[in-house]
Amino acid sequence: MKELKQLVRPNIWSLSPYTSARDEYQGKDAKVFLDANENPYNDPVNRYPDPLQRDLKVRIAAIKDVPVQDIFLGNGSDEAIDLMYRIFCTPGVDNAVAIEPTYGMYGVCADINGVEYRRVLMNDDFQPSYDKIMAAVDANTKLVFFCSPNNPSANNIDRTVIDRVLDNFDGIVIVDEAYIDFAGVPSYLRQLESRPNLIVLQTFSKAWGMAGIRLGMAFAQPEIIGIMNKVKYPYNINLLTQQRAMEEVMQYNRVQGWVDSILKERTRLMEEFAKLDCCIKVYPSDANFFLARVKDAAATYNYLVDQGIIVRNRSKIALCGNSLRVTIGTAPENNALIDSLKKFSSCTKKNQNVVVVFSGPEGRQSEVKRSEFSAEN
Ligand SMILES: *Cc1c(COP(=O)(O)O)cnc(C)c1O
pLDDT, tens digit (0-9, with 9 covering 90-100), for 244-263: 999 999 999 999 999 999 99
pTM comes to 0.91
pLDDT, average across residues 115-120? 98
**Residue 157 CB less than 6 A away from ligand 1:** no
- Of 82, 103, 208, the one to substitute when testing ligand 1's pocket (max ligand atoms within 8 A of C-beta) is 103
Residue 362's pLDDT band, with cuts at 50, 70 and 90, is very low
3-state class (DSSP) for residue 356: helix
Among protein residues, the one with the nearest Cα to ligand 1's atom 1 is 377
Burial class (CB in 10 A: 0-12, 13-18, 19+), 321: exposed
**Residue 217 CB less than 6 A away from ligand 1:** no
pLDDT, average across residues 15-35? 82
Among protein residues, the one with the nearest Cα to ligand 1's atom 7 is 76
What's the pLDDT tens digit per position in 90-100?
999 999 999 99
- Of 199, 213, 377, the one to substitute when testing ligand 1's pocket (max ligand atoms within 8 A of C-beta) is 377
18: left (phi over 0), alpha (psi -120 to 50) or beta: beta
Residue 346's pLDDT band, with cuts at 50, 70 and 90, is low
Among protein residues, the one with the nearest Cα to ligand 1's atom 3 is 178
Does residue 70 register a pLDDT over 50? yes
Residue 352's pLDDT band, with cuts at 50, 70 and 90, is very low
What are the Cα distances from residue 331, in Å, to 135, 206, 261, 266, 267? 45, 17, 9, 10, 12
**CA 86 – CA 70 distance, rounded (Å):** 19
200 C-alpha vs ligand 1 centroid, how far in Å? 12
Residue 109: HSE in the Cβ half-sphere, 13 Å Cα cutoff = 23
**Residue 176 CB less than 6 A away from ligand 1:** yes
Q: Which amino acid makes up residue 127?
A: Q
- Closest atom of ligand 1 to 215 CA is 8
pLDDT, average across residues 179-205? 98
What does the pLDDT read at residue 24? 74
Lowest mean pLDDT among 40-44, 166-170, 347-351: 347-351
